[in-house]
Chain A
Amino acid sequence: MRVNGIAIDDGFAEAFAMKATRLVITAHERMWAMLAATSATGMATSVIGCGCEGGIEGELSPQETPDGRPGVSILLFAVSGKELARQVERRVGQCVMTCPTTAIFAGLREGEPVPLGRNLRFFGDGWQIAKVIAGVRYWRIPVMDGEFVAQETTRVVKGVGGGNLLLLARDTDAALAGATAAAQAMRMPGVILPFPGGVVRSGSKVGSKYSSLPASTNEAFCPSLAGRARSELGEEVRCVLEIVIDGMTEGSVAAAMRAGMAAVIARGAQAGVSRITAGNYGGKLGPFHFRLHQLLPEGAAP
């Protein structure tokens, strides 16, 4: 199928269940909340090597935060609740508690509780104080700029990880422009794009010829290997970029993919992206299948 000159594969992106949580970081000024959020979601691109996948979901106005200060909402995803709990504690402890004026709150009301401030409180060395306000327990930990307030627990729910789009383009410039436009359109509540700028060039397949590696380069989409390895790429493709999406629900991942495809399609084939496809594992790995043809923008004519 071609839409606006761009070939849309009759395939699907295969995503899998992950454990997810939302955290709300607030600070005296917006800048410090953003710095803490950026730091807490740093090196959180892939569970393959980072322990979790994380990103900034969006900014929150003072009216939207529990303490009336500017805030940032972040999402973290991991393969298990236990690993997510470990990552939450480590990242909040090292990147949020350390950042001037910040406080941290759970961004979800439902789900399984995992420690947020429950263990970080011991940093208070006995001076920490618990406070239950409106049925929610907080820890107040004395620090050098006053006190760090952390909600005792955050909630973990089932999320969806691994939604993806592969953009096949004629050159680097075209691929970068298309991916940037798509990533910008895909930033919406309930989803994160965990890779730098939302874009990943090292798309991977499961496994490797080296037994110690769980994942390795996806040679079928590497233009440099066309003609030498099994390739999915046509003659005109010289650069491929991928956008990976993690979402709180199947619907949010689908919405983001739809928005990304619409942004690329709107630019047309003349912009250099000639084909959109998606990565899957034959349907055997994950229960969530996002069929590209079903995600085409409304009114998109073949």
Chain B
Amino acid sequence: MRHRLLLRATPSLRVDARALLPAALSALGREEVLRVLLPCGREGVPVGEWFEVLSQVLDDSLPCLTVEGDLGRFDFLGAALSDGSLEVEGNVGDCAGLGMSGGELRVQGSARDLAGCAMSGGRLQVQGSVGDFAAGALAGEMEGMRGGTLVVRGRAGARLGDRMRRGTVVVHGEAGEFLGSRMVAGTIAIAGRCGAHAGWGMRRGTVVFAGDAPAPPASFVPVRAEAEVFWQLLARDLAGFGGVFEDLPRRNIARWAGDLAVDGKGEWILPR
């Protein structure tokens, strides 16, 4: 069963929408979906309170769910997503795709803070912008994103990829301060400018500045040796994200290693 949820009314409080998962809802009939409770304040409010539900009996190979409307007050959309496809035609609130391990979450609008936070697999694509701490770690946790792919067509806020451990983050627009701060590993590729303190406390991992790169900080050193093989492997993968990344395999690079204040095994790649 494939469902399409159309937002009819905007809730006055924030709503925890983590129950809207394609695999779970595709097993339910329309009436059952209308009764699914979404935590809102101290209460659980049924889906039917805010959404109109259109249902079709389709034999999808993967469970699919579409949610339509401005869901800026709905948090945790796609949280813990493990398979199937969830499409949101509009904005979403905080923690979109939090801890997702598989499947695909596509947001046609923008997402607020903590998008893709602690995700370990799957693909999260945001057509608009994301807030702070995207692909980062939850408060108190040691590791941020641990796998999967986060693609942001617009702008990313501050602390993108903070404590990121593995996976790929691609931003077609700009990013805020502290890009890749305390990064443990993984790859961040950014097409636009970024704010101050990029790579602060970066232990390992790769940041590719496909557009305007900031001046490397004093705790980074230039790497004189070539990394032709690695660059071609990475650039060919990033080229698939289109935009300015498409041209990366044909560009030469400069590399900087750091942050020497921690482990010094991270790197900045500056295509020329």
Interface residues of A (CB under 8 A from B): 26, 28, 66-69, 103, 127, 129-134, 138, 140, 145-147, 149
Contact = CB atoms under 8 A, between A and B. Distances in A.
Contact of B228 (A28, A129, A134, A138): A28
Contacts of A140: 227, 230
B232 interface: yes
A129 B225 CA distance: 15
Contacts of B249: 68
A85 to B, nearest CB: 23
B233 A147 contact: no
Interface string B226-242: 11111011101100000
B227 A133 contact: no
Given A68-B249, A146-B225, A147-B225, A131 B230 contact: yes
Contacts of A138: 230, 233
Contacts of B236: 68
A240 B179 CA distance: 71
Given A132-B147, A132-B166, A146-B225, 17 more contacts: A66-B233, A67-B229, A68-B236, A68-B249, A103-B229, A129-B265, A131-B234, A132-B167, A132-B186, A133-B187, A133-B233, A133-B237, A140-B230, A146-B227, A147-B227, A147-B230, A149-B230
Nearest to B167: A132
A93 to B, nearest CB: 17
Contacts of A127: 265
Interface residues of B, number: 21
Contacts of B185: 130
A165 to B, nearest CB: 40
A137 B225 CA distance: 22
At the interface, is chain B mostly helix, strand, loop or mixed? mixed
B239 to A, nearest CB: 11
B204 A146 contact: no
A66 B226 CA distance: 17
Interface in B185-204: 185-187, 204
B229 A147 contact: yes
Contacts of A146: 225-228
Contacts of A147: 225, 227, 229-230
Nearest to B236: A68
Contacts of B204: 129
B91 interface: no
8 contacts: A66-B232, A67-B228, A67-B233, A127-B265, A130-B185, A134-B237, A140-B227, A147-B227
Interface string B159-199: 00000001100000000000000000111000000000000
Contacts of B230: 131, 138, 140, 147, 149
Interface in B94-133: none
